[in-house]
């Protein structure tokens, strides 16, 4: 899992509308396969997918007849154009947040530098002693 892909956007209304004729178990399989797909590439081998996600092969195969149509196969791996689109948007958003954060940090540093350059350097700090004056002696006179 790469940076910026630690969450999978799921749109419940879209999922339910596009799977309205499916069984609950088929919908559950779609979500489970989508989660695995989001995290790691999945080989386009039914027995391997069933093993990886923890399904009995026969049950998986029966459900895959419905669910599998939402995926294509490229170079031996499952591909979902929809999930890949979500991933591309998530990565763009992640990069935009990084860029905005870097820009904000740069602006804070510039403000801090401007503020520091307006203050006189080597200012003497005065220590005020309770009951005394800034020089630390009563009445401000120096005794020497």
For 97-128, what is each residue's pLDDT tens digit?
Answer: 888 888 888 888 888 887 777 766 555 555 55
Task: Calculate the average pLDDT of the chain.
Answer: 83
pTM of this structure? 0.64
In this prediction, residue 18 carries a pLDDT of 92
Q: How does DSSP classify residue 68?
A: G
In this prediction, residue 47 carries a pLDDT of 95
First-to-last alpha carbon distance for the chain, in angstroms, is: 73
Q: Domain ranges in the chain? A: 1-121
The whole-angstrom distance between residue 18's C-alpha and the CA centroid of its chain comes to 27
In this prediction, residue 73 carries a pLDDT of 95
Segments of the chain with pLDDT less than 50: none
92-104 per-position pLDDT tens digit = 887 788 888 888 8
In this prediction, residue 134 carries a pLDDT of 58
In this prediction, residue 119 carries a pLDDT of 67
- The helix/strand/coil state of 77 is strand
């Amino acid at each position: 899992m790469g940076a910026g892909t630690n969450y999978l956007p799921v749109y419940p209304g879209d999922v339910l509308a596009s799977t309205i004729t499916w069984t609950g178990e088929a919908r559950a399989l779609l979500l489970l396969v989508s989660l695995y797909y989001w995290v790691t590439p999945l080989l386009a081998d039914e027995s391997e997918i069933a093993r990886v996600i923890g399904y009995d092969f026969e049950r998986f195969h029966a459900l895959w007849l419905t669910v599998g149509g939402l995926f294509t196969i490229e170079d031996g791996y499952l591909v979902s154009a929809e999930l890949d689109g979500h991933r591309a948007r998530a990565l763009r958003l992640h990069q935009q947040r990084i860029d905005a954060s870097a820009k904000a940090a740069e602006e804070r540093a510039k403000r801090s530098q401007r503020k520091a350059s307006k203050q006189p350097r080597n200012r003497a700090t005065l220590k005020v002693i309770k009951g005394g004056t800034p020089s630390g002696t009563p009445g401000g006179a120096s005794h020497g």
